[in-house]
């Protein structure tokens, strides 16, 4: 594990970069031939998608950002012959980007996807990207680290008769479910908030498979439901892993400040952000997955400006240093 500190005007925040062997993580770095293929495929997809977006803008109107977003989420759209035209799994990862469907493939590639592949072109092209893409490995690492950090947060309240966790923009809540499995002796209650009904339905399946039905409740809504839900549920822990990647700075700070206001003294907030990386062009133009990338300094600034004291913040990065998780104590 590599350690250093980020210095802010209000104090220093420790940063830990986890070694893969510490959490059974993945860390296969691509060499220049692979990285060259990433950039070549991305540039070709950029030209193709820009041409299609220009045509749609000319004929239908609208902004480029909105057009590209709709193209990316359209199951009929193909970004690249070399990625998603001949692989149903790569195609799902593209049109499901920014949602639980893509994350499910990335999180569980070795369990759900790789065993289904056969020795044909689809199997080869799926495994080429699924196995080697650093962002796929990194988000899988993020899940494993998040599970451990959430379980550690549960342990902080081991003396409580009931431990309550609120998950904002919860998705399928896989990290929360797996963290609960690590804490079988604790009485944990979870409230999930998400605006995507299919995500909550997927969460219900995972919860049922784990036997935790009596421990979970669900709200189909956006972050506007945060206040009412928190006042009634009174969480010890609030988890929002993944959502900051889509919130501009001022809105992110305001949201973090709102979340902090609903935690008790000693309560925990866990969130994350994606870091700029050498495969960004691939996510931007092949997956058409728009995110707000922040350095560790910019990420730290968000949680500090959101009201958390630097002495009570820890930033944890997975080995590629693509995804960082902030653990903040009120």
Q: What is the mean pLDDT of residues 312-326?
A: 98
Whether the per-residue pLDDT at 169 is higher than 90: the answer is: yes
Please give the Cα distance from 324 to 295 (Å, whole number): 9
Provide the pLDDT confidence category of residue 205 given band limits of 50, 70 and 90. very high
Cβ atoms < 10 Å from Cβ of 134 = 22
Residue 67 has a pLDDT of: 96
Q: Cα separation of 82 and 79, whole Å? A: 9
The yes-or-no verdict on residue 96 having pLDDT over 90 is yes
CA proximity to 77, closest of 63, 57, 97? 97
Model pLDDT, residue 322: 98
Q: Is 47 exposed, middle or buried (0-12, 13-18, 19+ CB in 10 A)?
A: exposed
What angle (nearest 5°) sits at the alpha carbon of residue 134, between those of residues 140 and 41?
A: 130
> 2-23+138-329 in CATH: which number?
3.40.50.150
pLDDT of residue 52: 96
Report the pLDDT value the prediction gives residue 242, as an integer from 0 to 100. Answer: 87
| Domains of the chain by residue range | 2-23+138-329, 32-136
For the chain, percent of residues with pLDDT exceeding 90? 98
pLDDT digit string, tens, across residues 1-59: 899 999 988 999 999 999 999 999 999 999 999 999 999 999 999 999 999 999 999 99
Which two structure tokens, joined as six digits, stand for 68? 């590209």
**CA nearest to 177, candidates 152, 219, 212:** 212
The predicted structure's pLDDT at residue 148: 98
What are 108-158's pLDDT values in tens digits?
A: 999 999 999 999 999 999 999 999 999 999 999 999 999 999 999 999 999
Which percentage of the chain shows pLDDT scores above 70?
100
pLDDT of residue 264: 97
The answer to whether 242 and 99 are in contact (CB under 8 A) is no
Whole-number Å distance between alpha carbons of 257 and 279: 32
- For the residues 203-209, what does the mean pLDDT come to? 97
Based on the number of CB atoms within 10 Å of its own CB, is 269 exposed (0-12), middle (13-18) or buried (19 or more)?
buried
């Amino acid at each position: 594990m590599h350690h250093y500190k980020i210095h802010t005007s209000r104090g220093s925040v420790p940063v830990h970069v986890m070694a893969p062997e510490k959490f059974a993580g993945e860390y296969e770095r691509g060499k220049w031939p692979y990285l060259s293929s990433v950039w070549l495929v991305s540039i070709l997809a950029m030209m193709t998608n820009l041409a299609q977006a220009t045509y749609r803008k000319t004929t239908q109107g609208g902004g480029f950002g909105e057009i590209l977003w709709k193209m990316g989420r359209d199951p009929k759209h193909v970004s690249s012959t070399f990625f998603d035209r001949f692989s149903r799994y790569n195609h799902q990862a593209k049109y499901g980007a920014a949602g639980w469907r893509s994350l499910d493939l990335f999180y569980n590639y070795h369990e759900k996807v790789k065993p289904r592949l056969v020795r044909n072109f689809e199997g080869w092209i799926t495994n080429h990207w699924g196995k080697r893409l650093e962002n796929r490995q990194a988000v899988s690492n993020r899940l494993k680290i998040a599970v451990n950090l959430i379980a550690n947060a549960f342990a902080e309240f081991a003396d409580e008769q009931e431990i309550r966790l609120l998950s904002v923009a919860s998705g399928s809540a896989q990290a929360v479910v797996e963290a609960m499995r690590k804490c079988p002796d604790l009485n944990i209650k979870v409230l999930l908030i998400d605006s995507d009904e299919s995500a909550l339905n997927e969460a219900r399946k995972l919860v049922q498979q784990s036997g935790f039905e009596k421990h979970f409740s669900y709200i189909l809504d956006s972050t506007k439901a945060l206040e009412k839900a928190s006042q009634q549920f009174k969480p010890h822990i609030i988890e929002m892993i993944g959502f900051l990647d889509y919130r501009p700075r001022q809105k992110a700070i305001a949201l973090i400040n709102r979340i902090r206001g609903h935690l008790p003294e000693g309560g925990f907030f866990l969130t994350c952000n994606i870091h700029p990386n050498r495969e960004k062009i691939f996510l931007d133009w092949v997956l058409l997955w728009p995110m707000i990338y922040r350095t560790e300094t910019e990420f730290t600034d968000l949680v500090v400006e959101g009201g958390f004291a630097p002495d009570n913040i820890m930033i944890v990065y997975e080995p590629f240093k693509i995804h960082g998780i902030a653990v903040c104590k009120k």
